[in-house]
Amino acid sequence: AARQGIIFRHGTALEQLAHVHVAVFDKTGTLTVGRPRVARVVANPPFAESEVLRLAGAVEEGSGHLLARTLVQESVERGVVLPPAKNVTEMPGQGVSGEVEGHAVTVGGWSFVLNRHPGAEQSFRQLVAPDAYPGLRAYVAVDGRAAGIVEYADHLRPGLAGFIPRLRQLGLRRILLLSGDDQGNASAVAQSVGIPEAHGDLLPEEKVAYVHRLMKQGERVLMVGDGTNDAPALSTATVGIALAATGGGISAEAADAVILADDPTRIADAIEISRRTLRIARQSIWAGLGLSGTGMIAASLGYIPPVVGALLQEAIDVAVILNALRAAIRPGSEPEAKSSESGRVFTDRALS
């Protein structure tokens, strides 16, 4: 597995992955590239685009959220000077609010903004074109009024075309997408990759509750994510797998297995390796016990002298070990070189 960039952090994960039959995926950074850019800014008069970016960027400047960093970067690239913000409050995965130049500014997802400013709903709806793609959006409210919308563009990871059918061939009977993005965007991405079930507008704790509910129903759940917000769900699932091309941080620490590449298709490889390893392990166990038991019966009946019996037992042990070593050779694959120094360091750390 390590040769394929897949690190199992403990033996239990290797065993349990062979038996999962429900897969739950995060969206941003897992199925999508996770490096969105600002596609356009839609301002609601009398606000201008630069004013929307200026006020939104001011409260987002201290946030660690990926979309917040993208918005701030866009503001800087456009030459917008961000004023200082006061009394900034952030709700992880939802949005941020604060005071900028005497104005109350709120930036975040649909539910986050409208829960604080329900009167702005109609204005926000008018800003969204009826035929607009349901992508990532941040809604900006100033003093309770709809100031504008920041639309982001993200795209699917390459190579996902046959991924979901391959998981179904491996026996996963239910595949879901859980996302903090709005329902329209989550459904569009799920449909693009062939996932039949998608749930959006979820907070991190709601993802955990959903995974926990599946497990209470008797399901063995595989959870796949990449960000800090996914860590609680990763640790709740039967097996949590983190995509961690650069180390992974908290999500990698919470996961049972780590993929050292931004390639979710290696999850199918991990399942195949897990199942093949268990199959070979069972062969070795039963072959060893069977041959040893047969030898003991023959020895007890006097057919095998003690010295010969000892030599036979050593031969059985060596044969079983050689059979077990087949698990280290994966048919039809070549060891992949790791070009990232951080990946090698993380591999050493995980194995230790």
Q: DSSP state, 172?
A: -
**Three-state SS for 200?**
coil
**Is position 182 annotated as part of the catalytic site?**
no
> Under 8 Å CB-to-CB from 141, ≥6 apart: which residues?
105, 106, 107, 113, 116, 117, 120, 147
Give me the helices (H) in the chain, please: 11-17, 49-60, 66-77, 110-116, 121-127, 163-169, 183-193, 204-216, 231-236, 249-254, 266-300, 306-324, 341-351
CA nearest neighbour of 44 among 150, 148, 128: 148
DSSP code per residue over 301-330: TTSS-HHHHHHHHHHHHHHHHHHHGGGG--
Contact 146, 139 (CB under 8 A): yes
Parallel, antiparallel or unpaired: strands 239-243 and 37-43 = unpaired
DSSP code per residue over 89-157: EEETTTEEEEEETTEEEEEE-HHHHHHH-GGGHHHHHHHS-TT----EEEEEEETTEEEEEEEEE--BP
Parallel, antiparallel or unpaired: strands 145-153 and 136-142 = antiparallel
- Token readout for 129 is 């074109």
Q: Which residues have a catalytic role annotated?
A: 26
